[in-house]
Structure 1
């Protein structure tokens, strides 16, 4: 173990923009994150229902896709990024709407390849050119809010009804309502925030994020027979690598130019959402860095872009993924950053917590008893993720709105996006912005065109500051 001098950066091997860190050599193992990951890894398995429903994959192949995703989850810390990575979760409902235009099977796999390839290209281009975030700065506040609110509405709508069929919430109401209620209370409740300040048990619950909600939902689902009891199997999980290659773009074929063009609006929306996640993640880590002076944490937005791009390229060719590859799992990053503040004895380095978590989650994929316990209730993990994401997107989207005109543009754009998808949603947002918001500024404020532009720039800056504070 290479020890870090007080106040220095955690040891690493330089490789261009990357800073290679190997567990046990460049940072210590963190047992609290290990045990948390042994339960929270089930959230990564929650992608399996989407893979089977929208890509037409058998369960064993979908599990192999999750294995590929697990490798991608371990890359950021290895390459020097202190964020705990995840999906671009708020974009999942928009991706599902996109996939609804294609038949599950080879057609959907080709379409998702096109989408994820474009997302990877956007991240790589903006990271290499150091223009990361410039695209987002050009988007008006009302359209940012419309994207967030629309994604939130689509996430919640999908739980009620999917493609004319009864959604998971209607089919299994007791478990999902109970789990969602517990999660909302632990994450967002004002009364719980006050309780955890003075109660050690409440503080411990808060540190485990969605785990208590997931456990409650699982037990209720089993008690009322909404889900079958698990068939617990012993041994090591087998990945279906021999059949897996038949479900890759190399076997099913690559998409045509028309599919790539059709995927562009969804890819742009996914990037805009992911950039907001990067800002939130860097803010969490900067606050933790300011709290402790014994370690200097290096944050590089361009490196974050490039690492996220590599993961999306990997997925596009080896496991096209409805969740895409996102820069941060916000809840876990927040928990790691909070525990990091307790000092070097609690967590030697931020990389100890962030690195241990997904290494442990990857190990858990091979523990067959754990995988088999959670297999019957995988839809619960996905439902809770989408319900909480929907709530958060609507909450943040409405918070950044600053005027009546923005509220109207955002609201109408959100409905169009949730019902008709990314392409029509973006077109509606652009049209409404120029038709309503620009006209409103010119008539009501009665300023010159130059002043209008200045006001809009100010609004974007204020919005960015609010998001940073959040």
Structure 2
């Protein structure tokens, strides 16, 4: 049972084991910019699951929306129930691999949902082991800077590749003007240095810039219909989610549990997903650390063991309630960086990081899936929302990765690792990164290795040798 702390500690939430439960409106404040973004952008992106579930998994539109609702609710528990300091999202790079595995190996919707269950349970067991043993935490502490930067840069390259190559026919080329406009507006509003200067001169730009991803999304919603790339078909009413019907089609308690062969087949993909998940955690930590110097009033507790347990519980619940792997990841980088960028501006912009994240998830997601006007209005924008977040993910990962490494050799290793992760299988990319790190750098720090080599070279030229 959760224990209530007293005084200032209680205002941070209620401790229960490794976790901290922050009740919305009691332990966190409502941040309107994040609330509006969560209502629009997160919901539209969550709907990207709907066409996949109706096309390949035999669900109706209402049942697919119910699956998205459960998935979104579980994501919201990460910062609220478990106290995680990240904006959670899918393990997006693993999704194409998962679909290839599930759709290629199994024919019926029941078998495909059982395979999804097997994947989620296998990943959950892996996370529990690494979290309980402490291996996951020690691994994150050990990781050399060059390899860490390579993981982050790999996410950047993979994100751009997905938008401009892999998914371009379905999303970017189908709605090019609206998508490019949304991306341009968000990049300017979030990262542009000249725009930051303008925000200091004009109050309305300061307010507008504080809305993060929302302005670009709104611009796309307006521009799309004007250029014929978006057609709205608004329906009125309230959606009553068919939970029982959905449960009967997806839960292993209703359709049967996966066979042992399914679990064995899921092991390699679960390992690959963990590698990607690990890279997301590294990225999320670096984004927070980069901004923490500006917010000494709001110290953030980063705990790898807690993150492993939180992810294990969420994936375990998803496995039996809404098995669509891999929607229970650690960090939605595009959203995470947008929230952290506003958090770093000070307490007046965002009182606490947890307030911003809670406003985005818990206070925005539950409503839109029940309101048919919003639900059907967002439906044609889901491709734009997905492309937008991937572009911001790529940009954010790139600048974070480049800040992690300083030595030229480390930068080269990071680029090589990132490219290998983006273009090869994840385990192959990681293997390339490990080999490159230890053969080209030889240790954790290239600067330390360079200093040692310089010292030995000077001794050699003086004829002293290595004493």
Regarding TM over 0.5, the answer is yes
Separation (CA, whole Å) in 1 of partners of 2:251 and 2:58: 11
Separation (CA, whole Å) in 2 of partners of 1:297 and 1:436: 34
- Whether the aligned pair in 1 keeps the contact of 2:154 and 2:418 (CA below 8 Å) is yes
1:325 positional shift = 2.4
CA distance change for structure 1 residues 267 and 340 in 2, over 3 Å: closer, same or farther? same
1:338 positional shift = 5.6
- Whether the aligned pair in 2 keeps the contact of 1:308 and 1:325 (CA below 8 Å) is yes
Q: How does 1:437-452 map to 2 (within 5 A)?
A: 437-438=441-442, 445=450, 447=452
SS across alignment from 1:315: helix
SS across alignment from 2:172: helix
Separation (CA, whole Å) in 1 of partners of 2:131 and 2:422: 30
The answer to whether residue 345 in structure 2 is matched with residue 307 in structure 1 is no
1:299 positional shift = 6.6
The answer to whether residue 138 in structure 2 is matched with residue 173 in structure 1 is no
Separation (CA, whole Å) in 2 of partners of 1:77 and 1:324: 13
Separation (CA, whole Å) in 2 of partners of 1:36 and 1:204: 14
Aligned to 2:460: none
Residues 399-433 of structure 1 show CA distances to partners (whole Å, capped at 9, x for unaligned) of: 33333433333333333322222122122223333
**Counterpart selection for 2:264 from 247, 252, 257:** 257
1:351 positional shift = 5.6
TM-score (norm 2): 0.78
1:354 positional shift = 4.3
Aligned to 1:291: 297
- Whether the aligned pair in 2 keeps the contact of 1:97 and 1:421 (CA below 8 Å) is no
Aligned to 1:228: 231
The answer to whether residue 432 in structure 2 is matched with residue 424 in structure 1 is no
Residues 285-336 of structure 1 show CA distances to partners (whole Å, capped at 9, x for unaligned) of: 7854x337xxx98775544443233223222333324343225641464267
1:178 positional shift = 0.9
Aligned to 2:92: 92
Aligned to 2:366: 362
Separation (CA, whole Å) in 1 of partners of 2:289 and 2:154: 25
Aligned to 1:463: none
Residues 165-189 of structure 1 show CA distances to partners (whole Å, capped at 9, x for unaligned) of: 8242223211111111111111111
CA distance change for structure 1 residues 20 and 106 in 2, over 3 Å: closer, same or farther? same
Aligned to 1:267: 274
- Whether the aligned pair in 2 keeps the contact of 1:37 and 1:358 (CA below 8 Å) is yes
Separation (CA, whole Å) in 1 of partners of 2:179 and 2:282: 30
Aligned to 1:68: 70
CA distance change for structure 1 residues 139 and 187 in 2, over 3 Å: closer, same or farther? same
Residues 332-382 of structure 1 show CA distances to partners (whole Å, capped at 9, x for unaligned) of: 642674687129xx86x7665544442322122211111111011211111
1:435 positional shift = 4.0
Separation (CA, whole Å) in 1 of partners of 2:438 and 2:31: 52
Aligned to 2:85: 83
Aligned to 1:17: 18
**Counterpart selection for 2:190 from 177, 187, 190:** 187
Separation (CA, whole Å) in 1 of partners of 2:35 and 2:53: 29
Residues 261-284 of structure 1 show CA distances to partners (whole Å, capped at 9, x for unaligned) of: 343133123123224314544775
Separation (CA, whole Å) in 2 of partners of 1:370 and 1:317: 29
- Whether the aligned pair in 2 keeps the contact of 1:153 and 1:390 (CA below 8 Å) is yes
**Counterpart selection for 2:392 from 361, 364, 388:** 388
Aligned to 2:128: 124
- Whether the aligned pair in 2 keeps the contact of 1:63 and 1:239 (CA below 8 Å) is no
Aligned to 1:468: none
Aligned to 1:149: 153
- Whether the aligned pair in 2 keeps the contact of 1:98 and 1:421 (CA below 8 Å) is no
Separation (CA, whole Å) in 1 of partners of 2:53 and 2:161: 20
1:210 positional shift = 0.5
Separation (CA, whole Å) in 1 of partners of 2:451 and 2:75: 51
Aligned to 1:462: none
**Counterpart selection for 2:381 from 357, 377, 380:** 377
- Whether the aligned pair in 2 keeps the contact of 1:13 and 1:20 (CA below 8 Å) is yes
CA distance change for structure 1 residues 85 and 312 in 2, over 3 Å: closer, same or farther? farther
Separation (CA, whole Å) in 2 of partners of 1:195 and 1:158: 33
- Coordinate RMSD, CA, aligned: 4.0
- Whether the aligned pair in 2 keeps the contact of 1:123 and 1:309 (CA below 8 Å) is yes
Separation (CA, whole Å) in 2 of partners of 1:226 and 1:60: 25
Aligned to 2:163: 159
CA distance change for structure 1 residues 287 and 132 in 2, over 3 Å: closer, same or farther? farther
1:156 positional shift = 1.6
> Gapped runs of 5+ residues in structure 1?
452-470
Deviates more, 1:138-147 or 1:299-308: 299-308
Separation (CA, whole Å) in 2 of partners of 1:52 and 1:20: 32
Deviates more, 1:386-395 or 1:117-126: 117-126
Separation (CA, whole Å) in 2 of partners of 1:405 and 1:108: 45
SS across alignment from 2:406: coil
Residues 129-184 of structure 1 show CA distances to partners (whole Å, capped at 9, x for unaligned) of: 45553212333333323322222222222223338x82422232111111111111
